[in-house]
Amino acid sequence: MLRILDRYILRKFLGTYFLMLGIIMLVAVVFDASEKTEDFAEMTATWREILFDYYLNFIVYYGNLFSGLFIFLAVLLFTSRLAHRSEFIAMLSSGVSFPRVLRPYFIGATVLCVLSLIINHLVLPAANKVRLAFEEAHIRAIFFVEDHHLHREIQPGVIAYCESYGAKEKTLYRFSLEQWEDGSLVRKINADRAVYDTVNGSWNLVEWSARSIGAQGETMARGLAKDTVLPLKPSDLGQRWETAMAMTTPELDDYIAAKRAQGDGKVASYLIEKHQRTSYPFASYVFTLIGVAVASRKVRGGTGLHLALGVMLVLIYVFAIKITTVGATNAGLDPFIAVWAPNVLFGLIGIWIYQKAPK
């Protein structure tokens, strides 16, 4: 049961958080709209699509993305005011223990953590799908990541390779297709390039040659052009990594499994996206603990000093996330460790600061 102290701190916590969220998102929308005014004037999208398909989902995405920062700043601001008015001293001197004071803070953090989990796993994928579709239709063209030396097992025993992939042209350069049976190569097709036909979903092989190996020996065939249907689409070769944000968690798991089955080992960014959907909400507890431990001490600098120290810690946290995620994508660091390590590290820092806080 919530007592007067719990309701007072919880009301201040959540009230400050949602007030900051509303103000900062309003400012973000104004700045984004000012940058895209010319684009909006030239595009064919209606105002309803701009407001509901783009900006409504824009607010959902960026509000959730920076929710940890808003939680931290909210805790810092109103806790610093409590400390400056000596309310913390009054609570502790009246016999209320510091862990007891922390209880409403963590109740609020739990509310925001659960809300963020629901948004990350259920709401945000659908919102991102609409937002990214609007961007691709009206703001920027669909962008596929270009890559080199791609290998894909498109069917059991059937391996496709290309030296490079031109995303805009949907063309595979220096293309080859191998068919293996019982560990032996039975057929191989080479082509100077393979161009995807978006109308019928086939690949047009240009300057191709085919070699078949059977019990009767080898046979060769050549040609200038040939249409062939392959279980391979341009989206299987590379795409905007942001599309992972538009997948539900089960869809993301299936996509990662499919990429691995194709022999594509570049799934670190997708695994990071998957694990971040859970790790970021739980960072609410870390930010809350650090914020209370830092701001509960009454100092001469007041709120300004607390805010400066808090922003510095947030910047270090963001920097740590960047280091670990780069390590996961480029240096082979396990994505699960990369995503959760900053939470563990700053959780330990929060515990140390909490132990030093006045009680």
pLDDT digits (tens, 9 = 90+) for 126-174: 998 888 888 777 765 444 444 566 777 777 888 888 877 776 677 888 8
Among 111, 114, 118, 99, CA closest to 13: 111
End-to-end CA, the chain: 24
- Please provide the average confidence, as pLDDT, over all residues in the chain: 82
Whether pLDDT at 27 is above 80: yes
Q: Give 183's strand partners.
A: none
- Work out the average pLDDT over 45-65: 89
pLDDT greater than 70 at residue 331: yes
User: Which residue in 280, 266, 274, 352 sits closest to 321, CA to CA?
Assistant: 280
Going from N- to C-terminal start, the domains of the chain cover 4-140+268-356, 148-237
Angle, CA of 28, 30 and 34, to the nearest 5°: 120
